[in-house]
Structure 1
Amino acid sequence: MLNLSKSDFVKIIPLLNNNPLPPTFAYAVAHGVIEGDIFVSSCSTIDTFLLKTRSGLYFADGDLNNPCFCSWFKDYLSQKAKNKANRLTLFSPNKILDQKIRDTIGGHCKEMQRCSFDFDPCVYSSDFPSCPSSSSIKEMNYYYIKKHKEFHEAYYKEYWGSVHNFLHNGFGYCIVDHHQNILSTCTTIFRGGKFAEIDISTSPQHQGKGLATKVAHVFIKHCLKQKLTPRWDCDFNNESSKHLAKKLGFHTPKTYTVFVRK
């Protein structure tokens, strides 16, 4: 397998477009928004690939029965599974790869089921209540990142490589009170091509007040203005996240498997 040169990363985009569940981070790497590596069997005709981000997220797609790929994939995964110093989180696009991963490193990983939602702008309603007078919506910037307990500098360094890269290529919004305390936040965990994936959080003492709905509306309106498609993924058992997604115009959840090293 060959390590594809960055100038050729865009060659995998047709494969991503043909997959019903391509993760947004794969588009982010392919479009050069975040750092990563892409391994292919041939640079001239790309029919199979393994993509990884610098934070340890992996995604494979294409002809997963390709003998050359299968042999290399098993050796590569086995080596990565033994190196517990680095993260290994593998997003699987289908049942074929699910079984190959189980056969190779199943003993080293736990399986998680996640849901990926489609967004329908025709279902989405842009009408929503304004924030109460005691709070306001602010765009995420370095000041709020420094203050944030969840979407802090380490978060953006892990997924974006740096805070600067997020501020240059990503976006987010937060609801703050008069004292600049952050109540609820909606941010891009990844952005690539025409997609922007949502990550959202509300401080525990302010949950149940509809703040997540309000800040997500602002995020989605920004996406539509920029001709971006918002994306929503969550754990299969996260009923509150699934309920919020449906309120915001996301529908038809598709289930996929993520393998996380124990």
Structure 2
Amino acid sequence: MELEGIDEMIELSKENHAHVLPLLKNLAYEPVFAYSVIERNQSGKVFVDHNENPTCSLIINSYGQYLLVKSGDNEYFMSEVVDFLLNDQNHSKYYDLYASTPELLFQISESLAGKTVLLHRSSFTFDLSKFQHLKKPNALQEQFVMKQMDKALFDKYKNEMDASYDSLWSSSQQFADRGFGYCLVMDDDFASVCNSYFVGGGYADIDIVTVDEYQNKGLATLTGVAFIEHCLNHNLVPNYNCDAGNERSIQLAKKLGFVKKYDFPMLWWHQDQRIISDYLKRFNYSNHSSE
């Protein structure tokens, strides 16, 4: 991703990404995508106001997830962030902007009015005891086979179901090395898939997709369970968040042993206004601009 209008901010070398970790403490949610950049599990950039002891940072995951964090006031840095966000050339197709506090997000939203829309996300904490006591669906019908995602399955999934995984993981090898997932297949076709969106900070973000014709059969629960068991066997904490208006996803989270913790705001820009409009209608947003 080529960045324009951001040359006044300091880009940390990959070896110094950890300098921003103190700014990520005590957030109300886990910014796993930011940790994935810091730990170099997934590609991205880290911009700061000072090399050694930064007080402000913009962490950019190449997938389009941005995190703005700060512990002090730096108006110049903030103005540079605004300039960067307002320049469409800096973004592939969209960005999701998260901030360390709602106050910081609303502060920057004033400069992005008319450019972004305000969304709300629900974050969850994983409750091991609830997971251990969940009622798993009935045994799989014979035609379904559970498989761990390998490089070939990853490429098949990227090509057939979600092309955005091309920017999420730079290659099938990187996914095999740093990510993981499980899928239920029927006759070599995907029925339900649970992949890691981001891995970092000791967490793994969950992404579950079930093909329409196989929904309401408990398949998402089964792939989710396989994913969570993998996390538990590899010292990772499963992490779940979704749009606050996505009731089906919220119910699935609870079914898998997650407890809703917090709703937090974010700003979303997309180059295609129709996609924004459809999303806002789908999840019952009445507000179509940033506040």
* Fold match (TM-score > 0.5): yes
- Counterpart amino acid of 1:169? R
Q: Which one of the candidate residues 210, 217, 222 is aligned to 1:209? A: 217
Aligned length: 260
Partner of residue 148 from structure 1, selected from 157, 162, 168: 157
| Greater mean alpha carbon deviation, residues 246-255 or residues 182-191 | 246-255
SS at match of 2:113: helix
Alpha carbons of structure 1 residues 69 and 149: separation in structure 2 relative to 1, 3 Å: closer
3-state DSSP of counterpart to 1:88: strand
- The corresponding residue for 2:96 is 89
1:203-241 deviation digits (Å, cap 9, x = unpaired)? 101100001001100100000010100011111111010
RMSD between superposed Cα atoms in Å: 2.2
Q: Is the 8 A contact 1:139 1:173 kept in 2?
A: yes
Question: CA offset at residue 248 of structure 1?
Answer: 0.9
Structure 2 partner of 1:125: 132
- Alignment partner of 2:262 out of 250, 254, 262: 254
How many angstroms apart in 2 are the aligned matches of 1:120 and 1:151? 33
Quote how far apart the aligned CAs of 1:76 are: 2.8
Counterpart check, 1:184 vs 2:181: no
Matching residue's letter, 1:124: F
Q: Are the aligned partners of 2:19 and 2:53 in contact in 1 as well (CA < 8 Å)?
A: no
TM superposition score normalised by structure 2: 0.82
What is the aligned partner in structure 1 of residue 53 from structure 2? 45
Partner of 1:109: 116
Range moving further from structure 2, 239-248 or 114-123: 114-123
1:110 to partner: Cα distance: 1.4
Identity of aligned residues (%): 32
Matches within 5 A, 1:66-77: 66-77=74-85
2:168 paired residue number: 159
Return the TM-score normalized by structure 1: 0.90
CA offset at residue 168 of structure 1?
A: 1.3
CA contact (8 A) 1:38 1:52 kept: yes
The residue that corresponds to 1:168 in the other structure is: 177
CA distance in 2, matches of 1:12, 1:130: 46
- Answer whether contact 1:55 1:159 (CA < 8 A) is retained: yes
Unaligned runs of 5+ in 2: 1-8, 271-291
The reply on whether 1:20 has 2:24 as its aligned counterpart is no
| Contact 2:70–2:100, Cα closer than 8 Å, also in 1 | no
Cα drift, residue 152 of structure 1: 4.9
Instruction: Report if the CA contact (8 A) 1:156-1:163 is conserved.
Output: no
